[in-house]
């Protein structure tokens, strides 16, 4: 049986692997999504993550498809009590998610509409974890060099975080949400949400969902210590750097059916020193007789500040490989070797 971990201070226990689902509805069919869910539950994994904007790449025609696939699975299996279910409300800026065509914001009206629609698609009356997918305040996100801070925007017209937390508090009080979390956030954002909770503005955040992998360890600067000291656990997404750490894109390869091949969304991994860093990690895995994907996942899962590693797979073979990473131990010697590569190629794909 898998040893579960605490989801912040929310009183919820989750497995160290979380099943991500963002490809269901485009790259994967409903039947394939159901098969992945069945296998994951059979393996003892209890944590599932989705979002109102999924599947990816986001577009109006498939928006909400992933939640609908999970919803039909929950309805047919009748096992809602066996699952810790997480979803997300879109942050600032999307213009096709709401019926009025206005940009999404993290205010009460948008959050209320989003969760009501998510609950309908998921065929449930509550979420265990409801997350803010990205901030409302203007920030450079999902762009090249997005970790570089360029100063405060003028004007900063973001919805006050206290107001956002208040909207989430109402959902908690109504029983629609058990715990709340954030995603794609900064250390300042975490501290501000914690202060807002301490001053009575709403629930305490239980988690943060940010990218974290062997070629992007920027979370370790500032956020890792804060998360550990404040019991805000990391739900690490993109632990395989969109599949690049498996080696399948080595030397510019574009295998049929792979995400970068289908959607041309690998720009974050196509930066200076990324190829060299990945080659070093692939060689290290080979030296130790390890599957490179399993080594990369095991490293993330073994970090003390990680609550769960979010995996995503387009095939059952990939899913089995990913879950089997739980059997891999990152020894002190192997960790030293990994850190030596990190010193040579620090965070080439932030």
- For 45-68, what is each residue's pLDDT tens digit? 999 999 999 999 999 999 999 999
Q: How far apart are CA 6 and CA 126, in angstroms?
A: 19
- pLDDT score recorded for residue 149: 67
Residues 76-88 have pLDDT tens digits of: 999 999 999 999 9
The pLDDT confidence band at residue 143, using thresholds 50, 70 and 90, is: low
SS3 8: coil
The pLDDT confidence band at residue 36, using thresholds 50, 70 and 90, is: very high
Is pLDDT at 192 greater than 60 in this prediction? yes
CA Rg value for the chain? 19
Q: In the predicted model, what is the mean pLDDT of residues 197-207?
A: 98
The pLDDT confidence band at residue 335, using thresholds 50, 70 and 90, is: very high
- pLDDT score recorded for residue 138: 79
Q: How far apart are CA 233 and CA 212, in angstroms?
A: 13
The pLDDT confidence band at residue 146, using thresholds 50, 70 and 90, is: low
Provide the token pair at 240: 């395989």
Active site residues: 54
H/E stretch holding 47 reads strand 47-49
Q: How far from chain centre, in Å, is Cα 267? A: 18
Asked if 87 and 127 count as a contact pair (C-beta separation under 8 A), the reply is: yes
CATH fold for domain 5-209 = TIM Barrel (3.20.20)
- pLDDT score recorded for residue 270: 78
Q: In the predicted model, what is the mean pLDDT of residues 109-131?
A: 98
Q: Across the chain, what does the average pLDDT equal?
A: 94
- pLDDT score recorded for residue 47: 98
How large a percentage of the chain has pLDDT more than 70?
93
The pLDDT confidence band at residue 24, using thresholds 50, 70 and 90, is: very high
Asked if 28 and 65 count as a contact pair (C-beta separation under 8 A), the reply is: no
Is pLDDT at 153 greater than 90 in this prediction? no
For residue 184, the 8-state DSSP code is S
Asked if 314 and 257 count as a contact pair (C-beta separation under 8 A), the reply is: yes
- pLDDT score recorded for residue 144: 53
Backbone angles phi, psi at 166, to 5 degrees: -65, -40
The pLDDT confidence band at residue 246, using thresholds 50, 70 and 90, is: very high
Is pLDDT at 169 greater than 60 in this prediction? yes
User: Which of these ranges, 70-84, 197-211, 246-260, has the smallest mean pLDDT?
Assistant: 246-260
Asked if 180 and 205 count as a contact pair (C-beta separation under 8 A), the reply is: yes
- pLDDT score recorded for residue 187: 95
The pLDDT confidence band at residue 261, using thresholds 50, 70 and 90, is: low
| pTM of the entire predicted model | 0.95
Higher pLDDT, 350 or 325: 325
Is pLDDT at 210 greater than 90 in this prediction? yes
- pLDDT score recorded for residue 1: 75
The pLDDT confidence band at residue 242, using thresholds 50, 70 and 90, is: very high
Residue ranges per structural domain of the chain? 5-209
């Amino acid at each position: 049986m898998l040893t579960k971990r605490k989801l912040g201070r929310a009183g919820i226990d989750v497995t160290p692997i979380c099943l991500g689902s963002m490809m269901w509805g485009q790259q994967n069919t409903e039947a394939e999504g159901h098969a992945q869910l069945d296998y994951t539950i059979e393996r003892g994994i209890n944590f599932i993550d989705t979002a109102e904007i999924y599947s990816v790449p986001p577009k109006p025609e498939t928006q909400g498809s992933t939640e609908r696939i999970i919803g039909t699975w929950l309805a047919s299996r009748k096992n809602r009590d066996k699952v810790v279910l997480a979803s997300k409300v879109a942050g600032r800026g999307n213009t096709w998610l709401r019926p009025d065509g206005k940009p999404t914001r993290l205010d009460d009206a948008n959050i209320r509409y989003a969760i009501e629609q998510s609950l309908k698609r998921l065929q449930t009356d509550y979420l265990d974890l409801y997350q803010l997918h990205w901030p409302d305040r203007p920030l450079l996100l999902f762009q090249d060099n997005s970790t570089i801070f360029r100063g405060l925007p003028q004007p900063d017209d973001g919805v006050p975080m206290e107001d956002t937390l208040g909207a989430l508090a109402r959902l908690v009080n109504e029983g629609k949400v058990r715990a709340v979390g954030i995603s794609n956030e900064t250390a300042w954002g975490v501290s501000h949400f914690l202060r807002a909770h301490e001053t009575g503005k709403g629930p305490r955040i239980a988690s943060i969902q940010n990218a974290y992998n062997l070629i992007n360890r920027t979370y370790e600067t500032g956020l890792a210590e804060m998360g550990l000291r404040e019991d805000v656990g990391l739900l690490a997404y993109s632990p395989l750097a969109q599949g690049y750490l498996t080696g399948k894109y080595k030397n510019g390869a574009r295998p049929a059916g792979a995400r970068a091949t289908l959607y041309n969304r690998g720009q974050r991994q196509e930066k200076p020193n990324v190829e060299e860093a990945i080659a070093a990690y692939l060689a290290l895995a080979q030296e130790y007789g390890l599957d490179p994907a399993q080594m990369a996942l095991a490293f993330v899962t073994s970090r003390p500040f990680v609550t769960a590693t979010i995996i995503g797979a387009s095939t059952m073979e990939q899913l089995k490989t990913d879950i089997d990473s739980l059997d891999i131990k990152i020894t002190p010697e192997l960790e030293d070797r990994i850190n030596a590569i990190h010193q040579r190629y620090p965070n080439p794909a932030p």
